[in-house]
Chain A
Amino acid sequence: MKPAERRLLQELPTLRRHMASSGVLALLGAVLVVAQASLLAALLADGFDGHLAPGTALAALGGVLALRAALAWARGMLAQRAAADAKRALRERITGRLRDTGPLKLASRPRGETATLLTRGLDALDPYVTGYLPTMTAAVVVPATIVAWLLGTDWSSALVIMLTLPLIPVFGALVGMHTAQRTARQWTLLSRLGGHFTDVIAGLPTLRAFGRAEHQTRVVREMADAHRRATMRTLRVAFLSSFVLETVATLSVALVAVPVGLRLLGGHTDLHTALTVLFLAPEAYLPLRAAGAAFHDGAEGVTVAEKVFALLDEAPPALRAADRRTPPDARTAPLRLAQVTVRHPGRAAPAVDRFSLDVRPGEHIALTGPSGAGKSTLLALLLGFVTPESGRVTVGGTDLALLDPDAWRAQVAWVPQHPHLFAASVADNIRLGRPAASDTEVRRAARAAFADGFIDALPQGYDTRLGERGTGLSAGQRQRLALARAFCKDAPVLLLDEPTAHLDADSEAAVTRATVRLMHGRTAIVVAHRTSLLPHADRVITIAAGRPAPQQPAPAEGPVRS
């Protein structure tokens, strides 16, 4: 059992219960199989002797058959419910843990990766839970029950089955090992050939750009053919395991049926026993054959489990809110960065390098500098999204790392460069920071951010649904919506990341007026690239390569301008 599989069973009690219940159901099923075989054999043996079966015998057999069907229904239903519960538990754990991962790390992941894992990805657990797990228990319980029964009825047949049954896993493992070696040797080739199609499709825009798309049609076919030949080479060996499985299973039926027939000829046994043995022999092998077929499902389920656990283990649980201090009131507490250094993973140069800054309550500071200079990182520091490698960020003298982050952020309104639109109405997007805000307050915030104009023009106004599947907005509209969010939140500290980027001249003037109004009476740190906001700042700090730059940069020289 792989570690991920063991952990899956350890951490999800519903799966342990499922294993236990499917064991019990398998046992019941085996008992019913034995009953069915014995009753049918009796019915047929009596008929052979010329006695027409009594109604009770028929009714008993009918009852057993109906019970088997009911049991199959229960088995299927319980298995699917276990799968649903297991997936729900994993989904809730993942969504619950996302907050601990940290926004910057989440944003750096491929878009939609987690969403895919949570929906389609986890579905690979279905065959694992409904197929693989129950067959694994059944493969032990059912043959044991049947052999035990046969030992009492016809020990020589039981012996044949007992001797041949272990051949299946043994041969299966031998063939499996051999296949694994061969596949491992062919793996690079196989994955390269198999991946070719993906590669070519992903690169199709490039192929077209260089006029090579038509040429590749032939290559796609050739590679797919080469992939087929390589796959078939592997399959010729891999299918040997199913060959062994089927042959052992069917051969054993012959090994049981022929001697029993010969003993009948000699008068050493009776027809009832012989038929019971004939009916039961294949049933003993059935779960093992099913297990062989479900093996692949098991492997896929484990792969998903590994992905899930990798995601869950990624984020160490953060300090709980209870261990953190309540932040001081930002209306009176100064903000301070002291010799702060931040390095992004995988980058040699620090994003912020021994940077110091004191911000008095109510002060307005503009940060300028080329993109990538570390301006946005400074805002992320003040929000507690990144922790400094060295140096301290303090609020009223207390280290930000010791404060309850939610309580601190409650005093901050942030307008990011690329605000996210949530899959909710425009109004709900605006009241993100204050869910209790009334419609009037939402509209007032939108008006203040000069967003009311375009919102009113939307198909359903403030009720228009935004987000992935909803209405898209232009960059400037997003920006104004984010400003409306900040207005609505009405927090004492403002962190604005280029609030007037993406805006045309008219909107820029309007939004500048709105922003200046918003900044009034609040502490504000504004990243401003080329903006009319600069004159409204108490201080302008230019940053280059994570350090405060010496005063005004030399004007750029040279290029001819149109």
Chain B
Amino acid sequence: MTATPTPRPAPASAPPPRRGDALAPRAGDAGAPAPGDVAPAAPGDAGVPHPGDARTQYAAGARTQHPTARLLGHLLPHWRRLLPAALAAAGSELASAALMATAAWLITRAAQQPPITAVSLAIVAVRALALGRGALRYSDRLLGHDGVLRAVAHFRARVYEALVPLAPAGSPAFRSGDLLTRLLDDVDAVQDLLLRVLFPLASAAAVAAATTGVTAALLPQAGLLQGTLLVVAGLLVPFLVLTVSRQAGHAHKAARAELADLTLDLTQGAADLAAYGAGHAAATRAHHAAGRIAVLERRGALTTSLAGAAVLLLQGAATLGVTWLALRAHAAGTLPAVHITVLAVLALVSFETLTALPAAARRYADIRARAGRLACLFDTPPPVTEPAAPAQLPADGQLGVDITGLRVRHHPGVPPVLDGVTLRLLPGRRTVLLGASGSGKSTLIAALMRFVDYEAGSVRVAGRELREAAGTDVRRVITGMTQDAHVFHTTIRANLLLARPDARDTDLCEAARRARLLEWIESLPDGWETVLGEDGAAMSGGQRRRLLLARALLADPPVLVLDEPTEGLDPHTASAVLSDLLDATRGRTTLLVTHEQAGLSAADRIVTLDDGRIRPADPPLA
């Protein structure tokens, strides 16, 4: 890959990753965030009492942490970078507040027409603050993004580690591109939590505290009033926003799920709808669903925009109240005239940064949901339990596989996909497994590769039960081309080397030649160094299949499995690929799964998987 490798050693704060480490609070790692740390971070979170699901989640079990707290746990190791960023953010907002306050002092003092020396310091301060504010803002944004991206990098690695034991059967994200996109979007919740919630909150808190401090020093009762109103605007209003948006969230979610269902019916079921004349009715139902969403959103608009208005109203009340108190104190002779303006301006500017908080709270409602989904991901048990003391498997030689009475169920409570599959893969022979889509062919492969567990029966390689061996060892023996095989966005060479990193160029060429891909590779201007597009978009379907086949051949496992190698190819290419494939695998233990019936004449043995069981194949028609 083109990126320069990082020479920097792993930071000391990142211990060798182990699944579970990242999730459970660690004693040495500042542990679970202290309630005091979390409280300002997220209204309704750990610190602030909250009657909703936060408490129920805590009650669910001592080990169960609030999803946001867990997300924060992932950020803690980066506090050295995040703290300066937060300080700079607060600093730039403070500079802006100080600029207005100093300018107000300068103007009011000047109105008393003192000698110029009395205000020269203020003039310098105003100019310095004006210049400094931009610089602070610039450095705050740079520091913030750098810290956030570091945290994101760290977090991505954690998510990746959590996903490894789940791939492919343990998470629906591997079956649906849409869910995968959503998962990746959820991972960015870390970024949003920092940039859109925590940093604005930190700045708001700093400005509110500093301005209120100055106000209280000048006129204590004004400080009290201003502080109270700031707490209402900065904590109570965002908290209400959070509660309301969460409640609205449920109704919205249901309405959206309905529209998504109906749209899926309109697109995936378009042929059935057209054939049965039900298209108009289905489109009308989708219109109604869109209408219901709009009604909910319009209703929600009334309340959500109240929050911004409430902050403005509180700002107005503070300004008016503080000014009135200041005027009264001045009239009573206890407050110098210059301070009246300063107090009024401080009251005004103390609310400026708070105006971002209702939006942050709304954002947080969404981040919480994303954090919750990620927490579920981290908690998902792997679909296959690894043995405590794994048995050794022979790693080479001609091996056969004995499958007896295999039963596999995707979820407890649903009917088994495979029930009583008995099949013998003879050493050095090519077995073709036919079956209609949905008959459980891919599940059988997944069971052989230990991606799913089997609940009954046995699978033995060289007399050893697969369940007793480590999954990685099993996949050293039984592997190949899975149905979800992925072409990586990198060079052809790297895509093949993945299967055997120590392969020599001659091995690569040999594998490509046997997959009948070599000619194509050599015809490319960049040859082996050609970068393949996202998921191999630059290749034709046939080339993509041949590349995956070459990769499987390069891996050269004792037992080669090939799942639907001709899926999505036109019949002509399909039968060409199939017969090449049977040629290339002559003399090695192979399980070829397909629903094509043409081009199989070279197979050593053909069986059919039907209704979860193996039966002898029908004679192919062509």
Given contacts A214-B164, A232-B142, contact A468 B603 (CB under 8 A): no
Chain B 269-300 per-residue mask, 1 if CB under 8 angstroms from chain A, else 0:
11111111111111100110011011001101
Chain B proximity mask over A115-153: 1 for CB below 8 Å, otherwise 0: 110111000000000000000000000000000000000
**Do A265 and B116 have beta carbons less than 8 Å apart?**
yes
B176→A80 contact, CB < 8 A: no
Kindly report which residue of chain B lies nearest to residue A435, judged by CB atoms.
B281
Pairwise interchain contact B274-A559, C-beta atoms closer than 8 A: no
Confirm or deny: B502 has a beta carbon within 8 angstroms of a beta carbon on chain A.
no
Q: Does B373 contact A (CB under 8 A)?
A: no
Q: Does B619 contact A (CB under 8 A)?
A: yes
Given A92-B287, A209-B475, A349-B570, check contact A420 B272 (CB 8 Å): yes
Do A371 and B267 touch (CB < 8 A)?
no
Q: How far does the Cβ of B476 sit from chain A's closest Cβ, in whole Å? A: 6
Cross-chain contact B475 with A208 (CB below 8 angstroms): yes
Q: Which residues in B have their C-beta under 8 angstroms from that of A111?
A: 176-178, 264, 268
Asked if A242 contacts B137 (CB within 8 A), the reply is yes
A contact residues, range: 35 or more
- Answer yes or no: A406 CB below 8 A from chain B CBs: yes
Task: Provide the residues of chain A in CB contact with B178, threshold 8 Å.
Answer: 111-113, 116
Check if A48 sits within 8 Å of B108, measured CB to CB: yes
Chain A window 451-476, contacts with chain B (Cβ cutoff 8 Å), 1 for yes, 0 for no: 00000000000000001110000111
* Complex-state Cα separation, A66 to B598, whole angstroms: 79
Q: Is A231 an interface residue (CB 8 A)?
A: yes
A487 beta carbon closer than 8 Å to chain B: no
| In the complex with contacts A80-B305, A232-B142, A385-B274, A96-B622 CB distance below 8 A | no
Does B100 interact with chain A (Cβ within 8 Å)? Answer: yes
**Chain A: CB-nearest residue to B10:** A221
Instruction: Report if A65-B320 is in contact (Cβ < 8 Å); known contacts: A228-B146, A242-B138.
Output: yes
Q: Is A98 an interface residue (CB 8 A)?
A: yes
> Do residues A529 and B294 form an inter-chain contact, with CB atoms below 8 A?
no
Contact flag A221-B268 (CB < 8 Å), given A243-B135, A247-B131, A559-B604: no
Map CB proximity to A onto B205-239 as digits: 1 under 8 Å, 0 otherwise.
Answer: 00000000000000000000000000000000000
**Roughly how many angstroms separate A376 CA and B157 CA in the complex, as a whole number?**
47
Within the assembled complex, what's the spacing in Å between the Cα atoms of A223 and B1? 9
* B6 with A225: CB separation less than 8 A: yes
Q: Are A211 and B107 within 8 A (Cβ)?
A: no
A91 to B263, CA, bound (A): 10
Question: When the two chains form their complex, are residues A70 and B309 in contact, meaning their CB atoms are under 8 A apart?
Answer: yes
Q: Mark A254-276, 1 if CB is under 8 A from B, else 0.
A: 10011011101101001100110
Cα distance, A88 to B256, chains bound together (Å):
12
Q: Contacts A225-B6, A423-B265 hold; do A261 and B107 have CB atoms under 8 A apart?
A: yes
How many of B's residues come within 8 Å of A, CB to CB?
A: 178
> In chain B, what residue has the closest Cβ to A47?
B327
Whether the Cβ atoms of B312 and A68 lie closer than 8 Å is yes
Contacting pair B622 A40 (CB below 8 A): no
Say yes or no for A521: interface residue by CB 8 A criterion.
Answer: no
Shortest CB distance A524–B (Å):
15
**Would A222 and B3 be within 8 Å (CB), given that A198-B184, A201-B183, A260-B107 are in contact?**
yes
Given contacts A48-B111, A76-B304, A432-B272, contact A530 B601 (CB under 8 A): no
Would B616 and A370 count as touching, CB distance under 8 A? no
Known A72-B308, A467-B261: A98·B107 in contact at CB below 8 Å: no
The answer to whether A267 and B113 touch across the interface, beta carbons within 8 angstroms, is yes
B324 within 8 A of A: yes
**Minimum CB–CB distance for A416 against chain B, Å:** 6
A80 and B300: CB pair below 8 A?
A: yes
Cβ distance B56 to chain A, nearest Cβ, rounded Å: 24
In this assembly, does B62 line the interface, its C-beta being within 8 Å of a C-beta of chain A?
Answer: no
The chain A residue sitting closest to B572, CB to CB, is A349
| CB–CB B260/A69 < 8 A | no
Q: Are B277 and A204 in contact (CB under 8 A)?
A: no
Residues of A within 8 A of B138 (CB): 239-240, 242-243, 246
Taking a contact as CB atoms under 8 Å apart, the answer to whether A468 and B604 are in contact is no
Chain A 480-504 interface residues, beta-carbon cutoff 8 Å to B: 485, 489, 501-502, 504
**What are 27 A-B pairs with beta-carbon distances under 8 A?**
A43-B323, A48-B108, A65-B319, A66-B313, A98-B270, A101-B270, A103-B270, A111-B177, A115-B260, A205-B174, A209-B480, A210-B551, A211-B475, A220-B160, A242-B137, A247-B133, A251-B134, A253-B130, A261-B103, A264-B113, A265-B110, A406-B277, A422-B272, A432-B278, A485-B276, A501-B436, A530-B618
